[in-house]
Copies of this chain bind each other. A is one copy, B any other.
Amino acid sequence: MRAFPGSPGTLTSLFLRIVQCVFAAGSIASMATTTSFFNFTAFCYLIASMGLQVVWSFALALLDGIALVKKKVLHNPILVSLFVVGDWVTATLSLAAASSSAGIAVLYFNDLGNCKFGEECQKYQLLLVFFHIPRNR
């Protein structure tokens, strides 16, 4: 098998894995620093899914790094099919999590009036959540 840029064990692959890991960690960080993410199942799911993505990307970045340092070739068919299945699973989970979170974000910031990304809107959002839980019981 030819080692084209981006295949496992190349410098491009290592770089892309690190970028993937950093973006997933950024997603978790930006979500975890909000005050009310735990009220939304979709946001909790996003954190769980991005957590899996961070672990997966970090493990593969490590593997790429080791392969680069030790000059090993990672083109074992079993290993590559493992990478493909793992990437497919994490990609599907990430897409689902991002879509469900985006659906809720669009609902709040677009559908429910012309809410701007400000102090007032966050208060409104909090209110909406905390206000409606006791009302419905």
CA distance A130 to B110 in the complex (A): 14
- Determine the main DSSP class of A at the interface with B: helix
Q: Is the CB of B107 within 8 A of A136?
A: no
Query: Which B residue sits closest to A100, measured CB to CB?
Result: B103
- The 8 Å CB contact of A112, one of B101, B111, B132, is B132
Chain A residues bordering chain B, tally (CB within 8 A): 32
Report B-chain residues with C-beta under 8 Å of the C-beta of A129: 111-112
In the complex, A66 has a CB within 8 A of chain B: no
- Taking CB atoms and an 8 Å cut-off, the chain A residues in 98-137 that contact chain B are 98-104, 106-107, 110-115, 124, 128-129, 132-137
Of the listed residues A107, A110, A133, A136, the one surrounded by the most CB atoms of chain B closer than 10 A to its CB is A107
In the complex, A42 has a CB within 8 A of chain B: yes
